[in-house]
Structure formats: C-alpha cells, structure tokens
Structure 1
Amino acid sequence: MAGKRLLFFAEAVTLAHLARPLALIEKLSETDCEIHLACPTNNFRQFLKDFPYPVHDLDSITPAKFRRILDWGLPLFSKARLRQYIKTDLGLIEKIQPDVVIGDLRLSLVISARVAKIHYINITNAYWRPEFCPIPPLPCLRPFAYVPHQWVEPVYRRLIPSIFASHARPFNQLRRQYGLLELGDDVRKIYTNGDTVLYADVPEMYPDLPMPENHHFLGPLLWAPPVPEPPWWGEVPDDKPIIYVVAGTSGSAQAFQKVLDYMSNLPVTVIAALGHKQAGVTGNLFHAPWLDGLKSAQRADLMICNGGVMGCHQAAVAGIPVLGICANMDQFLNMRAAELFGIGRSLRQDEVSEGRLAVGLDKQKKEFLQITETNLSGNVLLEVIESKKTP
C-alpha cells in the first residue's frame, strides 16, 4: 500500500464508537498508512494516552446528552447541530487532506465527505438495514416509563415509519442545500450509507440479508481498554460458575445494580466492570472500573451486558452465551440477531427483576453456537483503502 493518508472520525458518544476505530487502526499498524484520528475531548480520551498517531479534536454531543436523546426517543441531530458537524468535518478534511475518511457513527459524513469529494467508509452494523427488521423492537423510552410496553407497542408500530422520517429530515434538507440527492425517508438508510459500508458483524448472523456491491462484513471487532489487571485477577475462585457482568458506557447503573444484587444471593462468582467504582471484592463480587472484555469472557460461563454488539462478539468468541439487558434500539436490534443465531437472550432494561433474571438465566442453559475470531476485518479494510480514493 502506497502510504495512503487515513482520517478516522470516531463519534465517541459511547466507548464502542471509539473502540471500533481503534481496533481497525491496530490492524493497520503494520502498514505504511498515515493515520489520523478525530474524536471528542470527553472522558474516553483516557484510553489514548499511548496512542501513537495524531489525534484531532472533534465537535460532538456529550455522552450524557446522547443518552438523554435516546431515553426520550428524540432525533440525534437538529438541522443546526448537523450543520455545525458538517463545518467541523470539512475543516478537518481541509486541514489533513486525507485520501479516505472512515467514520463510526459520524453520520454527518454522508454530506461532508460528498461535498469534499472524498471516499467515505462507514463503519456500522447490519441490523440497521431496514430489510433485517422492518419494524424494530420498541426501545425503553422515558415518556412511557410507567406504561406497560404492551400498551405502547401497537401505537409505536403504526408511528415508527413517520418517526424514522422525522429523524432523516435534517439530513435530507441539508443534502438538498449542498446539491446532493436525498437518501429517503428512513433514517436507517443514512446509518447504512457510504461509498463503502463495512458491517462490524459476523456475516453468518445475517444469511438472508441482501448485500449491495459496496457493502462488506468486517467480522467481529475486538478491543480491550489498555488497563492493568485488577489486584484480585489471580484470586477469582473457579469452584462455582463465573458470571461476567458489564454495563458498558450506555447501560443503566440502576438496572445493573439489580443484576448484582440478585447475583449476590446465588452460588456463583461475579466479575464485573463497573466503570465508576474502584477495584475491590465484596462478597462474591470481584469488581473493577474497566476490564479486558475478551479475557473476562474467556474466564466466565455467562456474560450479562447491555446488549451491545462488541460485548456480544466477545462472548461469542469466548464460547459463552450472553444475556443482554437492552434499553435503546441499537441494543434491541443486535440482540434480535443474537437470539436468531442462538448465542443469547435479551431482557428489557425497564423490566429487570429477580423473577425475569431467573427466567433469562434459565433459558441460557440451552446449547449455543460459537464464533471463531478471524482477521477478516483487517483484510477487508485494506482492500477497500487500496482500491478506493474518491467516490
């Protein structure tokens, strides 16, 4: 590869959207590519202390605001916010002059990259394709926190097409202003748009999904935070089943505390990444702020997570089932694919209770499939970068 300059846009409103670009960058470290990373100046920058490439500040909403938006079912972007994102994108592209831009949830690139006439690689997930699940599961929404979701579901199913259209409207309005064609009235078409679209998913989980010529599967993207093992790592007993619990950066602290409380009365050992709590041991709970997810999954018999795709891939590669405590649409869609493939089960975050946890854990006793980690992700990305420069 003749030293192409790559600019990664990591819209790190959750850690996963920084972790996936970092996993790909690690696979490119043996090449002669010139790598640049743009990401927000939030708490996730702590994982870039030893990052060997230039890091550029990226205008972005905060993780807390992102969670509020999801909780209330609001559009991610107003027209004004999207216009500011485009201005930031174009400024970075002008400054760095990359050959290719690679975005993870940086949805503004469906406009800015085309305006700059530069090839846009979109890292996303196959479950956002409308063909996978035309009517997605109802997420946990704060306006309906005290209403049974079974009552809300019929209304939601009728309204979701117009809701998706309202979320897509700012993108289509600004694309028209920049002389670009609209992308349709379903925001999922924006989530899965790019000159090249790369799905950070296991292709076998989507056997019937039609694949356009410029869409490719990366395979599982595995990444671990660069943190030392906690002091108790070598002292975890193995005489009882080990449950690995991780809420991630978008899981509800309250819901996962219910999980930990329930586990405290079971004949199991729990290892947990809690994000906010210093490493220690409390009863049968061994906890730390951050853990290597794959190593933890390899020690465990079951993972309980927020239903995010990276956690599910860690569990599958380690050969253990996963119980997803889901809240937002992304998590529900991912767990829908996991359930169809036979590697996990899901629970609604707003219905977590001892009884539902008991039922969910019991269902995990069945056989499940195992995914083998491959280097597919690096190979596909290299091929795309080598062959593409501009749209």
Structure 2
Amino acid sequence: MRRKLLFVAEGVSLAHVARPTVLAGAVDRQAYDIAFASNGQFPVCAPSPDWELHPLESIDPATFLERLGRGKPVYTEAELTAYINADIALLQKAKPDCVIGDFRLSLTIAARLVGVPLMSLCNAHWSPYATATKMFAPDIPIARLLSFGLFDKIFRLAWPMASKSHCAAINKIRKQQGIPSYSSLQEYYCDGDMVLYADIPSLTPTSGAPATHQYIGPIVWSPAMARPAWWNEAMSSPEPRVYITLGSTGSVDLLPTIVEACLAEGFACIVATAGRQAFDSKHPKVWAASYLPGVDAAQIASLVICNGGSATAFQSLAVGRPVLGICSNLDQVLTMTRIQDAGAGTFLRAGETTPAKLRTALRAIATQPNYGMRAAALQREMAECAPAQRFPMLLRRMLGREPAQAR
C-alpha cells in the first residue's frame, strides 16, 4: 500500500526549504506519494511539479531576521496560535501517514493533536544531548556595545535563563493543551516522534540520546541552474579563488568589505548575493550573480566565505574546502564553532568583522595546510553518511511505530 508523506518547510530562510526538498526527492516514488507545503518564498528552490503542493503562510523573513538580530524570540504567541491552526487544517486536508517538518515548530503541537507521526529535522548542535562545547554569543546589539569578548562571558552565564525565555510563548500554548512545558530551547527545537540530525557525529557529537534521535548526515543542496557566462573566465584566472555568499540570512552590508579584503590578499572572488542586493563590482577579478550552483562554486575555490550557516558550510565541506564564517545569529555561531573546533575553518561575528580581521583570517586559512586537511577529512566522512540512504531507512522505521504522546 502506498503511503503519503507531507514535507513542511518553514519559509523564513532558504536552508529550511532546501533540506526538506532534498529529502522529498530521495524517497521511492513507487512506495510514497509526496505532498509539500511552504510559502513559496524561495523560488530558486522550487518543489517538484509532480508533488502535491500546499501553500502555507510563514512570517516575513525580514521580521524573522530582525528578531534574530535583536536576540528576541522569533515567534509571538499569536503567531504560533495561527501557525497551529493552519497546520491542523493542512494535516486534515493532506491526510499524510507521516509529516516531516523543518523548523515548523508549531507542528510539535498540531501533528500530535491530529495524530500524525512527526519527524523533525534539525542540526545536532541544538540537541539536548549535544556534548558540551564553549558557547559564543551571536551578533546582537549589546555584544557590539560591550565588546564580544566581555559579552561572551555574560552570554554563557545567562544562556540557561535566556533559553527558557524563548520558550515562553509555546509553553503557554502547551499548557492550554495540557502538554508539559519545554525547559530549554534545545527541547523546543528538537521535539518530534523522531528527530533527524542533519550532521555527522564526529563534527557535532551527542551523548545519551534516545533511539528516536538519529543522524542522517549533512543535507547538501545546490540550485539546479546553468553556470553564468563568465564561469570559464573565472576558472581560467591564475589567482586562487574564493567563493563568497552570505545567503538568505547573512549580513549583506559586509559584502563589499569582504570582497576588498579578499582582493587585498590576492584572491579572485566569485560572489552569489542570494538575490538580496545589487552587487556590481567593476574589478576584473570579481564575478557575481544572484544565485550560483554552490557546490560547483565551492569546488573551484580555495575556500568559502559564508554566513556560517550549515547550508553553505556543508556545501564547502562536501568538496573538502575550508570555511570562513561571518556569523550573525546563534545557529550560525553554533555551526561554525563545531567547524572551528574540528580545524576546518574559523569564524567572526558580523559586528566584530573588520578589514584587518578578515585579512588575518584569510591569510591563516590560505597559509596553514591543516585547514584544508581537516576539511578533506570531513569530506570523506560526509560521503559515508548519505541522507539519501539514511532517510528512507528511518522513514520505514518511523511508519512502523505509533505516534508518541505529546511531550
């Protein structure tokens, strides 16, 4: 009997749309019908026309980024209530045998109220079972005011309380439904009948996790598109190349500064703006486009500069290239902390990024072979942990279980 899967992407960033799109494309169409729900915010990552498509509203990405940038909870109680109602209507209409959500946090209530098994996709650095690592603050106004070195210390002390405060809105709704509250943001972000970590264990280890928490490997997505007309010119350039993209959530105002630092260090620059700004450099060693096939761009580069998020960072590591992350939000900082600890890259917060610090970081990656060696080692590990194989196996396991009671 064919089963029906519903993939739900929270369209506040490209990564949360790309990952479920990749997983939906990995399942056996002879065994499953596919439904896909999102807001259509990122047409560069369009779902297959063969899928059953459902429109689903999300908050505006600019609102999402503004709240992240100020260290505020990303959803209000009213927004979460509207999300839950919309999710329940979607589930009742689509009638899936299983729903797979990427950062659609309202599904943790909606799916259980309807009685549909929920698989939640997240990064392992959010796991309640993640092994301890030194935390660094995101790029929020108070960090710039006090200095990042000082605020990092304050942030580590304040994080447990701050984490709980980010759960206040969802906990109020859970209480109304008679569901126990979350005690941390980690529990909130990693809740589901099965939780799928889009990571490899050696990069982001966990300890004591239950069998319902499983690694599926980094999900690497790159837009299926033609290479731009200037591609061969860029490839024939004798200078080492750097691929620069700040994605859908990075500090795009820093792009000119980053390009200038790269040129000063002798790099040619391949730039993707993710459609967020017009960037027209007249320099003969700078080539730019709104979007690029990211894996191909990383492959012809010596290193990749990105916002530090897992989407582009994993593109880079998938082809064995070290990463320089210019991080804004906490998710990006957590991703790059693990990559830095592994020796495959380094990072700066956007608010502490200066031309001098950029050039120092670029010079270190370019001159110290260990960065490339560690990136190549992670490339080999990533190749052995393929989501296209792991996800269908875990899906079969999931569909053999009854949905758990809400936690």
Shorter-chain-normalised TM-score: which range?
A: over 0.9
- What is the rounded CA distance, in whole Å, between the counterparts of 2:332 and 2:13 in structure 1? 13
Aligned position for 1:379: 389
Aligned position for 1:176: 175
Among 121, 124, 129, which residue is 2:122 paired with?
124
Q: State the identity %.
A: 31
- What is the rounded CA distance, in whole Å, between the counterparts of 2:33 and 2:206 in structure 1? 37
Code of the residue aligned with 1:153 in structure 2: it is D
Within-5 A mapping of 1:179-190: 179-183=178-182, 185-190=183-188
Code of the residue aligned with 1:337 in structure 2: it is R
Closer/same/farther in 2, CA of residues 50 and 21 from structure 1, 3 Å limit:
closer
Instruction: Indicate if the aligned counterparts of 1:37 and 1:55 stay in contact, CA closer than 8 A.
Output: yes
Q: CA RMSD of the aligned region, Å?
A: 2.0
Code of the residue aligned with 2:18 in structure 1: it is A
Aligned position for 1:138: 137
Q: CA deviation at 1:278?
A: 7.3
Q: CA deviation at 1:290?
A: 0.4
Aligned position for 1:340: 341
TM-score, normalization by structure 2: 0.90
Within-5 A mapping of 1:59-70: 59-70=57-68
Aligned position for 2:111: 113
Q: CA deviation at 1:238?
A: 4.0
Give the SS at the match of 1:205.
coil
Code of the residue aligned with 1:148 in structure 2: it is S
Q: CA deviation at 1:31?
A: 4.2
- What is the rounded CA distance, in whole Å, between the counterparts of 1:283 and 1:265 in structure 2? 14
Q: CA deviation at 1:265?
A: 2.9
Code of the residue aligned with 2:299 in structure 1: it is Q
Code of the residue aligned with 1:203 in structure 2: it is P
Give the SS at the match of 2:223.
coil
Within-5 A mapping of 1:299-314: 299-314=300-315
**Gapped regions of structure 2 (runs ≥ 5):** none
- What is the rounded CA distance, in whole Å, between the counterparts of 2:223 and 2:341 in structure 1? 29
Q: CA deviation at 1:5?
A: 0.5
Give the SS at the match of 1:203.
coil
Deviation readout 1:299-356 (Å, 9 max, x if unpaired): 1111111101121211112111111111110001001111122211111111111211
Aligned position for 1:362: 363
Q: Would you identify which runs of 4 or more consecutive aligned residues in structure 1 move more than 4 Å?
A: 278-281
Among 87, 90, 114, which residue is 1:89 paired with?
87
Instruction: Indicate if the aligned counterparts of 1:6 and 1:98 stay in contact, CA closer than 8 A.
Output: yes
- What is the rounded CA distance, in whole Å, between the counterparts of 2:93 and 2:134 in structure 1? 41
Q: CA deviation at 1:13?
A: 0.6
**Gapped regions of structure 1 (runs ≥ 5):** none
- What is the rounded CA distance, in whole Å, between the counterparts of 2:281 and 2:71 in structure 1? 36
Instruction: Indicate if the aligned counterparts of 1:139 and 1:332 stay in contact, CA closer than 8 A.
Output: yes
Q: CA deviation at 1:205?
A: 1.2
Aligned position for 2:207: 209
Aligned position for 2:220: 222
Instruction: Indicate if the aligned counterparts of 1:280 and 1:288 stay in contact, CA closer than 8 A.
Output: no
Q: CA deviation at 1:244?
A: 0.7
- What is the rounded CA distance, in whole Å, between the counterparts of 1:386 and 1:261 in structure 2? 50
Q: Aligned pair count?
A: 388
Aligned position for 2:248: 249
- What is the rounded CA distance, in whole Å, between the counterparts of 1:69 and 1:120 in structure 2? 27
Aligned position for 1:22: 21
Higher mean displacement: 74-83 or 28-37: 28-37
